[in-house]
Chains A and B, each alone.
Chain A
Amino acid sequence: MTTQLLLVQALNGLQLGILLFLVAAGLTLVFGVMDFINLAHGVQYMLGAYIGAALAAATGSFWWGLLLGLPAALAAGLVLEVLVFRHLYRRDHLAQVLATFGVILFLNEGVKVVWGAAPLQVPIPALLQGGIEIMPGLQYPIYRVAVLAAGVATGGLLWWLVERTRAGMLVRAGATNPQMVAALGVDVGRLFTLVFAFGAMLAGFAGILAGPIFSVEPGMGDNVLILAFVVIVIGGIGSIRGAFLAALLVGLIDTLGKSMAPDLLRLVLDPSAARQAGAALASMLVYVAMAAILAFRPAGLFPVRTG
């Protein structure tokens, strides 16, 4: 393991973390404001990736795919909210889990019907092709740097929206005490629809960005969803700041663990056993980290709701 490889893996980890943050941000806000657990948030990421890929293929430009994909992802979120999710807010978590699970089954199968089961490839836009030298003799793809930058910028924008605007103030207040906000005359239902659609768009944005890096395929949202859950549990449900830090942490642990665990174990085991045990250990690391953090802080690193 050289420093160069370590640097590349760390950047890959940060970039996975950024994508996770974009997915987790919507999830944590939706849960924070409305106490609504949405398993279908992962398929909104998938839907974004598919819509982006289809629009990019149709228009011949990644940028048009991005530009048109965002409102399309927002609209998809609104449709789902009106058709299904709206009827679940007053139900218990069990009902929410199952109904949104049904939505996952439908949409995972739906994209198979529309686009086929084979993964779609999305070409990297011409403007962002190639690499840049981040260290003497070390190239890193420009597109991945751009994803990092876009994610950090979106994170900043989100922070500003939540912390510095009136709508954000209502969202924060709603996460802390929704009954009080409703009693003060705010239409919490409409506030939630807005938050929900915005969260769906963020997840779709992450999906569009991920298109050229990962393959676009049915079920691609499921793993992201579960990692996003880990992120918001570690970060503290409802906390954007917690989600941001936890997403970077999870991205780094996952990526560095997968590349380093087999090498580290080779110090004590023979190579084939080290490879096997390393792979098992690496895929467990994120969850072990979550368990360790929760053992000390059951409400996550930055709990929002007190009492």
Chain B
Amino acid sequence: MTREALLPLAVLAALAVAPLAGFGGSYELTLLARAMILGMAAVSLSFLVGGAGLVSLGHAASLGVGAYAVAILDAHGVTEALIVLPVAVAAAAGFSLLTGAVAIRTSGVHFIMITLAFGQMAFFTTSSLAAYGGDDGYTLYGRTEVAGTRLLENRLAFHYICLGLLALTWGLCAMLLASRFGRVLRAARENAQRVEAVGLAPYPFRLVGYAIAGALGGLAGVLLANATEFVSPATLSWQRSGELLFMVILGGVGRLWGAILGALAFVLLETWLAEQMQHWKLVFGPLLVLAVLFLKGGLSGLVARRHG
């Protein structure tokens, strides 16, 4: 158990030394940044799926709300992270709170479909934002400034900022799940009726959990917009939501840090396959099916069993 507790720290440490260990080129750093950012979104989704039992197929929407907050503020000349970050995170949390208020009234497959539908709603809304590029997307004038400095332009600094926020996201989610709040969420996942029987209503707990996951997704969205310096409706396509879920299950549901592993494996595999062939999804799709059918504990399960 103690050794398993070290595994997530090992993953984070590996990411910390990667730029010093021969992965410091701009290509590798771009790839790693993308993996860490999607990893943040995946960890927050894992918090929902594995912790609260809420399988959301619309998590890319919170990513998109965060990214679009950056784009819209950029278009109006606001590029200071001290303003952009809180606004983006609050917008993503607000969006999740509003849609969650309806979605969480349902459960099981209804919940999956409703989160998917709300995700599509956000998708179509962003595609009709003609002032911010519509379908074509919006190119940022530059990366967000931090207290007036152009810190994020430095790739190495950006790497460590992404890593720091990823660690923060993981730490926060792990702490929340271990807290009394998380205990109620986990109990409600196992048996909502018993939770009610001891006098607690699961609904507000789930809603707050959903909003927190949305806020963290928004945070990842801010970084994603900065990493690519471009925002488009594709950021919040429903395929993206599906990919995030895949990262969670590939890494292993029930282990938050598994989502980081899943995101890394996903981004590296996707990039590698796309370089090998044009129609890489012909291979990727069946791989996904096979992973679901045969890799039941996910990658983190494999690692944890070997070191268990």
Question: Which B residues between 117 and 173 are near A, CB-CB below 8 angstroms?
Answer: 117-118, 120-121, 124-125, 127-131
Q: Check A110 for interface membership: any CB of B closer than 8 A.
A: yes
From A3-11, A59-67, A93-101, A121-129, the one touching the partner chain is A93-101
From A45-53, A150-158, A184-192, A287-295, the one touching the partner chain is A287-295
In the complex, the answer to whether B125 meets A280 with C-beta atoms within 8 Å is yes
In the complex, the answer to whether B117 meets A105 with C-beta atoms within 8 Å is no
Q: Check A276 for interface membership: any CB of B closer than 8 A.
A: yes
Q: Check A102 for interface membership: any CB of B closer than 8 A.
A: yes
Contacts of A94 in B (CB 8 A): 49, 55, 245, 249, 253
Q: Check B1 for interface membership: any CB of A closer than 8 A.
A: no
Q: Check B113 for interface membership: any CB of A closer than 8 A.
A: yes
CA distance A53 to B270 in the complex (A): 32
CA distance A286 to B112 in the complex (A): 17
Q: For the complex formed, measure the closest distance between the CB of A4 and the CB atoms of chain B, giving whole angstroms.
A: 27
Q: Check B194 for interface membership: any CB of A closer than 8 A.
A: no
In the complex, the answer to whether B57 meets A294 with C-beta atoms within 8 Å is no
In the complex, the answer to whether A226 meets B106 with C-beta atoms within 8 Å is no
In the complex, the answer to whether B292 meets A106 with C-beta atoms within 8 Å is no
Q: Check A266 for interface membership: any CB of B closer than 8 A.
A: no
Contacts of B113 in A (CB 8 A): 37, 229-230, 232-233
Contacts of B118 in A (CB 8 A): 287, 291
Q: Check B21 for interface membership: any CB of A closer than 8 A.
A: no
Q: Check B205 for interface membership: any CB of A closer than 8 A.
A: no
Nearest to A110 among chain B residues (CB) is B282
Q: Which single member of B106, B238, B284 contacts A294 (CB below 8 Å)? A: B106
Q: Check B287 for interface membership: any CB of A closer than 8 A.
A: yes
Question: Which B residues between 228 and 255 are near A, CB-CB below 8 angstroms?
Answer: 238-239, 242, 245-246, 249, 253
CA distance A169 to B18 in the complex (A): 62
Size category, B interface: 35 or more
Contacts of A291 in B (CB 8 A): 99, 102, 114, 118
Q: Which single member of A93, A106, A108, A287 contacts B112 (CB below 8 Å)? A: A93
Nearest to B294 among chain A residues (CB) is A87
A-side interface residues, number (CB < 8 Å): 46
Q: Check A113 for interface membership: any CB of B closer than 8 A.
A: yes
Q: Check B286 for interface membership: any CB of A closer than 8 A.
A: yes
Contacts of A109 in B (CB 8 A): 279, 281-282, 285
Q: Check B6 for interface membership: any CB of A closer than 8 A.
A: no
Q: Which single member of B105, B109, B130, B285 contacts A298 (CB below 8 Å)? A: B105
In the complex, the answer to whether B282 meets A287 with C-beta atoms within 8 Å is no
CA distance A39 to B124 in the complex (A): 20
In the complex, the answer to whether B285 meets A105 with C-beta atoms within 8 Å is yes
In the complex, the answer to whether A93 meets B117 with C-beta atoms within 8 Å is no
Q: For the complex formed, measure the closest distance between the CB of B189 and the CB atoms of chain A, giving whole angstroms.
A: 12
In the complex, the answer to whether B109 meets A106 with C-beta atoms within 8 Å is no
Q: Which single member of A98, A237, A294 contacts B102 (CB below 8 Å)? A: A294
Q: Check B288 for interface membership: any CB of A closer than 8 A.
A: yes
Q: Check B116 for interface membership: any CB of A closer than 8 A.
A: yes
In the complex, the answer to whether A295 meets B102 with C-beta atoms within 8 Å is yes
Q: Check A112 for interface membership: any CB of B closer than 8 A.
A: yes
Q: With A109-B282, A110-B282, A276-B131 given, is the CB distance from A37 to B110 under 8 Å? A: no
In the complex, the answer to whether A279 meets B117 with C-beta atoms within 8 Å is no
Q: Check B5 for interface membership: any CB of A closer than 8 A.
A: no
Question: Which A residues between 61 and 118 are near B, CB-CB below 8 angstroms?
Answer: 84, 87-88, 91, 93-95, 97-99, 101-110, 112-113
In the complex, the answer to whether B288 meets A93 with C-beta atoms within 8 Å is no
Nearest to B118 among chain A residues (CB) is A287
Q: For the complex formed, measure the closest distance between the CB of A95 and the CB atoms of chain B, giving whole angstroms.
A: 5
Contacts of B55 in A (CB 8 A): 93-94, 97
**Chain B residues with a Cβ under 8 A of chain A:** 49, 55, 57, 99, 102, 105-106, 108-110, 112-114, 116-118, 120-121, 124-125, 127-131, 238-239, 242, 245-246, 249, 253, 279, 281-282, 284-289, 292-293
Q: Give 6 pairs: A residue, B residue, CB < 8 Å, sorted on A.
A: A35-B109, A37-B112, A94-B49, A101-B288, A226-B117, A295-B102
